[in-house]
Chains A and B, each alone.
Chain A
Amino acid sequence: MTPLLQIDNLHASVGEVSILKGINLTINPGEVHAIMGPNGSGKSTLSQILAGKEDYAITQGTVAYNGKDLLGLGPDERANEGIFLAFQYPVEIPGVSAMQFLKAAVNAKRKHHGEEELDAGSMLKLFREKAAQVKINPEMLKRNVNEGFSGGEKKRFEIFQMAVLDSVLGILDESDSGLDIDALKVVSDGVNSMRNGKRGFLLVTHYQRLLEHIVPDFIHVLVKGRIVESGGREVALELEKNGYAKYGIYQPAKH
Chain B
Amino acid sequence: MATQDQEVLDLAESRRDYKYGWTTDIEQEFAPIGLSEDTVRFISAKKNEPEWLLEWRLKALRLFTKMTCPEWPFLPYGYEKPDFQAISYWAAPKQGPKSLDEIDPRILETYAKLGIPLEEAKVLLGVEGAAASAAEGKAKAKAMAAAQAEFETGAVSAEPRKVAVDAVFDSVSVKTTFQDELARAGVIFCSISEATHSHPDLVRKYLGSVVPVADNYYAALNSAVFSDGSFVYIPKGCKCPMDLSTYFRINAKGTGQFERTLIIADEGSEVCYLEGCTAPQRDENQLHAAVVELVAHKGAKIKYSTIQNWYPGDENGKGGIFNFVTKRGLCEGDDSHISWTQVETGSAITWKYPSVVLKGDRSKGEFYSVALTNLRQQADTGTKMIHIGRDTSSHIISKGISAGHGHNTYRGLVEVRKTATNARNFTQCDSLLIGDQCGAHTFPYIDVRNQTATCEHEASTTKIAEDQMFYCTARGISEEDAVSLLVNGFCKQVFSELPMEFAVEANKLLAVSLEGSVG
Check B477–A99 contact: CB distance below 8 A: no
Residues of B within 8 Å of A102, CB to CB, are 475
Contact of A112 among B151, B476, B479 (CB under 8 A): B476
Q: Does A190 contact B (CB under 8 A)?
A: no
Residues of B within 8 Å of A93, CB to CB, are 468, 471-472, 485-486, 489
Among A58-66, A113-121, A200-208, the stretch that binds chain B is A113-121
Contact of A79 among B475, B479, B486 (CB under 8 A): B475
Residues of A within 8 Å of B488, CB to CB, are 95-96, 100
Check B144–A120 contact: CB distance below 8 A: yes
Q: Does B492 contact A (CB under 8 A)?
A: yes
Residues of A within 8 Å of B505, CB to CB, are none
* Given A76-B476, A108-B478, A91:B490 Cβ within 8 A: no
Check B476–A51 contact: CB distance below 8 A: no
Check A99–B471 contact: CB distance below 8 A: no
Interface string of A156-185 (1 = CB under 8 A from B): 000001000100000000000000000000
Q: Nearest chain A CB to B431's CB is how many angstroms away?
A: 15
CA distance A85 to B477 in the complex (A): 14
Q: Does A144 contact B (CB under 8 A)?
A: yes
* Given A100-B154, A120-B147, A121-B144, A105:B477 Cβ within 8 A: yes
Contact of B152 among A91, A100, A108 (CB under 8 A): A100
CA distance A103 to B485 in the complex (A): 11
Check A108–B477 contact: CB distance below 8 A: yes
Residues of A within 8 Å of B92, CB to CB, are none
Check A95–B492 contact: CB distance below 8 A: yes
* Given A95-B493, A99-B151, A80:B476 Cβ within 8 A: yes
Check B476–A109 contact: CB distance below 8 A: yes
Q: Does B388 contact A (CB under 8 A)?
A: no
Check A144–B144 contact: CB distance below 8 A: no
Say which size band chain A's interface belongs to: 35 or more
Check B490–A94 contact: CB distance below 8 A: yes
Q: Nearest chain B CB to A81's CB is how many angstroms away?
A: 9
Interface string of B411-455 (1 = CB under 8 A from A): 000000000000000000000000000000000000000000000
Residues of B within 8 Å of A75, CB to CB, are 470, 473-474
Q: Does B179 contact A (CB under 8 A)?
A: no
Q: Does B148 contact A (CB under 8 A)?
A: yes
Residues of A within 8 Å of B148, CB to CB, are 119-120
Residues of A within 8 Å of B468, CB to CB, are 91, 93
CA distance A2 to B144 in the complex (A): 43
Check A96–B489 contact: CB distance below 8 A: yes
Check A119–B476 contact: CB distance below 8 A: no
Interface string of A86-108 (1 = CB under 8 A from B): 01001101111101111111001
Residues of B within 8 Å of A53, CB to CB, are 470, 474
Residues of A within 8 Å of B467, CB to CB, are 91
Q: Nearest chain A CB to B488's CB is how many angstroms away?
A: 7
Residues of B within 8 Å of A145, CB to CB, are 471
Q: Nearest chain A CB to B362's CB is how many angstroms away?
A: 31
Q: Does B150 contact A (CB under 8 A)?
A: yes
Check B151–A101 contact: CB distance below 8 A: no
Q: Does A124 contact B (CB under 8 A)?
A: yes
Residues of B within 8 Å of A109, CB to CB, are 476
Residues of A within 8 Å of B493, CB to CB, are 95
Check B144–A95 contact: CB distance below 8 A: no
Residues of B within 8 Å of A78, CB to CB, are 474
Q: Does A74 contact B (CB under 8 A)?
A: yes
Q: Does A136 contact B (CB under 8 A)?
A: no
Check B481–A96 contact: CB distance below 8 A: no
CA distance A117 to B486 in the complex (A): 21
Check A100–B485 contact: CB distance below 8 A: yes
Residues of A within 8 Å of B476, CB to CB, are 76, 79-80, 105, 108-109, 112, 165
Check A96–B152 contact: CB distance below 8 A: no
Check B474–A85 contact: CB distance below 8 A: yes
Residues of B within 8 Å of A105, CB to CB, are 472, 475-477
Check B481–A104 contact: CB distance below 8 A: yes
Residues of B within 8 Å of A97, CB to CB, are 154
Q: Nearest chain B CB to A37's CB is how many angstroms away?
A: 22
Q: Does A52 contact B (CB under 8 A)?
A: yes
Check A87–B151 contact: CB distance below 8 A: no
Q: Does A140 contact B (CB under 8 A)?
A: no
Q: Does B491 contact A (CB under 8 A)?
A: yes
Residues of B within 8 Å of A120, CB to CB, are 144, 147-148, 150-151
Contact of A103 among B151, B489, B491 (CB under 8 A): B151
Residues of A within 8 Å of B481, CB to CB, are 104, 108
Residue among B144, B481, B489 with most chain A CB within 10 A: B489
Check B144–A119 contact: CB distance below 8 A: yes
* Given A95-B488, A96-B489, A161:B475 Cβ within 8 A: yes
Q: Does A123 contact B (CB under 8 A)?
A: yes
Q: Does B8 contact A (CB under 8 A)?
A: yes
Contact of A76 among B154, B473, B485 (CB under 8 A): B473
Interface string of B49-75 (1 = CB under 8 A from A): 000000000000000000000000000
Interface string of B71-85 (1 = CB under 8 A from A): 000000000000000
Residues of A within 8 Å of B143, CB to CB, are 121
Closest 4 CB pairs of A and B: A95-B489, A95-B492, A97-B154, A79-B476
Q: 11 additional contacts, CB 8 Å, given A100-B154, A104-B481?
A: A52-B473, A75-B470, A93-B486, A95-B154, A95-B490, A96-B154, A99-B154, A105-B472, A105-B477, A108-B481, A120-B147
**A contacts, CB < 8 Å to B:** 51-53, 74-76, 78-80, 85, 87, 90-91, 93-97, 99-105, 108-109, 112, 117, 119-121, 123-124, 142, 144-145, 161, 165
What are 21 of the A-B contact pairs (CB < 8 Å)? A51-B474, A52-B473, A53-B470, A79-B473, A91-B471, A93-B468, A94-B489, A95-B154, A96-B489, A97-B154, A99-B151, A104-B472, A104-B475, A104-B481, A108-B477, A108-B478, A120-B150, A121-B143, A121-B147, A124-B147, A145-B471
